[in-house]
């Protein structure tokens, strides 16, 4: 993918004007992670109500791809069924970003948000729902992202 | 293709990799030399020749191959001694790199000499390799790790040194001779003078200085000195630790094993002489031999000329970069105080995005925290972009880089 394809107006817009940027007090799900290779940071907060995502916010520092990806992911999951959110894949995220062919050097930037989301769900499912079987599966998916 | 000082065209012919194309058939512009430099054909051939003709373990066997390999390995030690001007070759220890050299000092010297309440003093512009080993040591010993600050010009605030020295608790001052992010050349003479007045030992991390300027250890007068071969045309996996004989003799070994012993009995061992006491196990023979060719190459050009060439390129690049609106440059504008390293940010383009864009034009730079997160905090940025030069870089390449920065600006609509 060329830079002209990557840094489209929409990516730059989400980078400069991130939607759902901020924090939630006492969220049901809270997770922070960083990419040790580049230092990008991301924290995600989620509230659930009747098994639906009732609120989601993120804060972070990093490149246009990582921040736009996080912001777009929050929009994607807002109001959605928790089962749907649990099943999101790498392909879903890249599709959502409009960057299906991102190269190996930058794919980690795009997937950091999904990694934070999956680890957040893992903690929630294992600690608050005590469902170790599905928690382990989610953890495996998260660690397999990059 | 010429600066006033060296014939770059001839030099470039010695580096086969500079002929290759990257991305969409773009000529490679390699500006990531502070991370590692490219290797001339002489270095590659020397390693090739060792494996092809006299591969053997060293120091022990009596056969001809071992004799030849030992001679070539030890010849490198002599060349290093000459390169940094030291008298005693046995004070030079081959290690894997600067990181291992610093860890060796921290582990062997530090554990014997740093006690509870003592201070190890470093600086805010260190590479992680000159921070983390000291955190490990000072935590274990309940000692303190303190930092000399960096001012807005990217220079050390040396007044703070004396305040720490006055406490009487400082055991070691350890600093980078040239910052890998800002390119600042540390006023090492002044620091060493102050420290030695108080009997405090000094370690100089010379990973970025020895490759780029003449360093004379008989003038510098520090106690420990470390650098890496791969940042000066040599192979990866080879570094040098130099320390005074009197200090090395009193230090416990770092690694135990073959080659570092005199006699081994069931419960007691006596150590081999210097430098072998600190070179346990089969060393990186091939690459130490390859390093020899790198030293020859640099001697041939002359380190003063290397430095002049880099100053000329850096000045040229800085002037052009300053014409780009929205650019923020880090480090001192005084060329006498800086090397060929330029850290910068452009508008609100994150360094990773910038590096991706200019990589499309064949330009390889570094983006990120450069293993210097303490300095990033001081500069209040999460990352910077960094271009760093060496003997084979040209003004024409700087022009390509500048055009590419302008393209990035357009893509980000700045």
Q: Which residue of A has its CA nearest to B372?
A: A39
B297 pLDDT higher than 60: yes
CB contact under 8 A, B412 and A37: no
Per cent of chain B over pLDDT 90 is 96
Mean pLDDT value of segment B15-24: 95
C-alpha torsion A25→A29→A30→A31, nearest 10:
-170
As a whole number of angstroms, the distance between CA A70 and CA A42 comes to 8
B136 pLDDT higher than 70: yes
Query: What angle, rounded to 10 degrees, do the helices at A132-143 and A107-123 form?
Result: 170
| Residue of A7, A102, A112 to mutate, testing the B interface (most B Cβ within 10 Å of its Cβ) | A7
Query: Using one digit for the tens of pLDDT, what is the confidence trace for A87-108?
Result: 999 999 999 999 998 988 899 9
A57 pLDDT higher than 70: yes
Q: Tell me, what's the pLDDT at A1?
A: 80
A16 has a chain B CB within 8 A of its CB: yes
For each of the domains in chain A, give its residue range(s) and CATH number, in order of start.
Answer: 3-143 (3.90.1010.10)
C-alpha torsion B310→B312→B315→B317, nearest 10:
-70
Mean pLDDT value of segment B30-35: 98
Count of pairs with CB atoms under 8 A, one residue in A, one in B:
47
Q: Are the beta carbons of B385 and B354 closer than 8 angstroms?
A: yes
Query: Using one digit for the tens of pLDDT, what is the confidence trace for B174-184?
Result: 999 999 999 99
A56 pLDDT higher than 90: yes
For each of the domains in chain B, give its residue range(s) and CATH number, in order of start.
Answer: 8-40+302-411 (3.90.1150.10), 45-299 (3.40.640.10)
A77 pLDDT higher than 60: yes
3-state DSSP assignment of residue B146: strand
Mean pLDDT value of segment B363-382: 93
Q: Tell me, what's the pLDDT at B3?
A: 59
Query: In Å, what is the CA distance from B301 to each residue of A100, B5, B74, B119, B309?
Result: 49, 10, 23, 42, 11
Which of A61-70, A97-106, B209-218, B276-285 has the least mean pLDDT?
Answer: A97-106
| Residue of B22, B352, B368 to mutate, testing the A interface (most A Cβ within 10 Å of its Cβ) | B352
Residues of B identified as active-site: 371
B106 pLDDT higher than 60: yes
Q: How far is A4 from chain B (nearest CA, A)?
A: 7
Q: Tell me the pLDDT of chain A averaged across its residues.
A: 93
B4 pLDDT higher than 70: no
Query: Using one digit for the tens of pLDDT, what is the confidence trace for B201-244?
Result: 999 999 999 999 999 999 999 999 999 999 999 999 999 999 99
What does residue B205 show for φ and ψ, rounded to 5 degrees? -85, 105
Mean pLDDT value of segment A50-73: 96
Per cent of chain B over pLDDT 70 is 99
pLDDT category at B166 given cuts 50, 70, 90 is: very high
A36 pLDDT higher than 80: no
Q: How far is B203 from chain A (nearest CA, A)?
A: 28
3-state DSSP assignment of residue B45: helix
CB contact under 8 A, A62 and B352: yes
CB contact under 8 A, B357 and A7: yes
B2 pLDDT higher than 80: no
CB contact under 8 A, B360 and A16: no
Q: Are the beta carbons of A48 and A29 closer than 8 angstroms?
A: yes
3-state DSSP assignment of residue B337: helix
Q: Tell me the pLDDT of chain B averaged across its residues.
A: 96
Beta bridge partners of B368: B384
Q: Give residues with Cβ within 8 angstroms of B177, minimum separation 6.
A: B185, B186, B188, B204, B205, B206, B208, B209, B210, B215
CB contact under 8 A, B357 and A61: no
Q: Are the beta carbons of B321 and B402 closer than 8 angstroms?
A: yes
* A69 contact residues in B (CB cutoff 8 A): none
A37 has a chain B CB within 8 A of its CB: yes
DSSP codes joined into one string, B71-98:
HHHHHHHHHHHHHTT-S-GGGEEEESSH
* B413 contact residues in A (CB cutoff 8 A): 12
Mean pLDDT value of segment B297-308: 97
Of residues A144 and B172, more confidence is placed in: B172
CB contact under 8 A, B356 and A106: yes
Query: Using one digit for the tens of pLDDT, what is the confidence trace for B112-126?
Result: 999 999 999 999 999
Q: Give residues with Cβ within 8 angstroms of A19, minimum separation 6.
A: A71, A72, A74, A75
* B352 contact residues in A (CB cutoff 8 A): 38, 40, 62-63, 65, 106, 109
Query: Using one digit for the tens of pLDDT, what is the confidence trace for B375-399?
Result: 999 999 989 999 999 999 999 999 9
As a whole number of angstroms, the distance between CA B258 and CA B253 comes to 12
**Cα torsion angle, A69, A72, A76, A82, sign:** positive
| Residue of A9, A40, A63 to mutate, testing the B interface (most B Cβ within 10 Å of its Cβ) | A63
**Cα torsion angle, B88, B89, B92, B93, sign:** negative
Mean pLDDT value of segment B75-91: 98
Q: Which residue of B has its CA nearest to A11?
A: B412
Query: Using one digit for the tens of pLDDT, what is the confidence trace for B36-56?
Result: 999 999 999 999 999 999 999
Mean pLDDT value of segment A52-64: 96
* DSSP character at residue A144: T
Q: What angle do CA B196, B197, B198 make, to 5 degrees?
A: 85
Mean pLDDT value of segment B140-152: 97
Q: How far is A7 from chain B (nearest CA, A)?
A: 7
Q: Which residue of B has its CA nearest to A37?
A: B368
B366 has a chain A CB within 8 A of its CB: no
């Amino acid at each position: 993918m060329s830079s002209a394809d990557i840094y489209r107006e929409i990516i730059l817009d989400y980078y400069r004007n991130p939607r759902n940027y901020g924090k939630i007090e006492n969220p049901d799900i809270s997770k922070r992670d960083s990419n040790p290779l580049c230092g990008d940071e991301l924290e995600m907060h989620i509230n659930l109500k009747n098994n639906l995502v009732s609120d989601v916010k993120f804060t972070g520092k990093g490149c246009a791809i990582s921040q736009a990806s996080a912001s777009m992911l929050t929009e994607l999951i807002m109001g959605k069924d928790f089962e749907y959110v649990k099943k999101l894949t790498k392909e879903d995220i890249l599709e959502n970003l409009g960057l299906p062919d991102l190269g190996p050097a930058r794919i980690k930037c795009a997937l950091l948000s999904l990694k934070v989301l999956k680890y957040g769900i893992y903690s929630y499912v294992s600690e608050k729902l005590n469902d170790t079987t599905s928690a382990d599966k989610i953890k495996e998916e998260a660690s397999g992202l990059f | 293709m010429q600066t006033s000082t060296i014939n770059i065209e001839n030099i470039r012919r010695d580096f086969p990799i500079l002929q290759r194309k990257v991305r969409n058939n773009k000529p490679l512009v390699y500006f990531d030399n502070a991370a590692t430099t490219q290797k001339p054909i002489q270095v590659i051939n020397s390693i090739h020749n060792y494996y092809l003709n006299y591969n053997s373990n060293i120091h022990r066997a009596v056969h001809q191959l071992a004799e030849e390999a030992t001679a070539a390995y030890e010849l490198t030690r002599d060349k290093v001694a000459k390169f940094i001007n030291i008298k005693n070759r046995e004070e030079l220890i081959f290690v894997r790199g600067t990181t291992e050299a610093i860890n060796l000092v921290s582990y062997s010297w530090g554990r014997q000499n740093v006690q509870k309440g003592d201070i190890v003093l470093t600086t805010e512009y260190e590479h992680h390799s000159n921070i983390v080993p000291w955190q490990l040591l000072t935590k274990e010993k309940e000692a303190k790790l303190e930092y000399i600050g960096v001012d807005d010009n990217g220079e050390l605030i040396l007044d703070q040194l004396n305040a720490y020295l006055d406490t009487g608790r400082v055991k070691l001052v350890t600093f980078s001779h040239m910052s890998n992010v800002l390119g600042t050349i540390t006023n090492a003479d002044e620091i060493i003078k102050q420290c030695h007045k108080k009997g405090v030992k000094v370690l100089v991390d010379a990973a970025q200085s020895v490759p780029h300027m003449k360093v004379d250890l008989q003038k510098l007068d520090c106690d420990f000195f470390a650098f890496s071969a791969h940042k000066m045309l040599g192979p990866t996996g080879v570094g040098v630790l130099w320390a005074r004989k009197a200090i090395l003799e009193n230090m416990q070994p770092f690694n135990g094993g073959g080659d570092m012993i005199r006699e081994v009995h069931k419960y007691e061992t006596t150590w081999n002489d210097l430098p072998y006491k600190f070179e346990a196990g089969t060393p990186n023979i091939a690459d130490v031999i390859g390093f020899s060719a790198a030293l020859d190459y640099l001697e041939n050009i002359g380190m003063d000329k290397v430095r002049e060439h880099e100053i000329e390129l850096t000045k040229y690049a800085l002037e052009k970069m300053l014409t780009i609106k929205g650019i923020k440059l880090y480090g001192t504008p005084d060329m006498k105080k800086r090397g060929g390293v330029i850290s910068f940010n452009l508008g609100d383009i994150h360094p990773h995005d910038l590096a991706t864009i200019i990589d499309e034009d064949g330009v390889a730079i570094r983006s990120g925290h450069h293993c210097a997160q303490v300095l990033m905090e001081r500069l209040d940025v999460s990352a910077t972009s960094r271009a760093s030069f060496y003997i084979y870089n040209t003004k024409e390449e700087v022009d390509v880089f500048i055009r590419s920065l302008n393209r990035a600006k357009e893509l980000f609509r700045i």
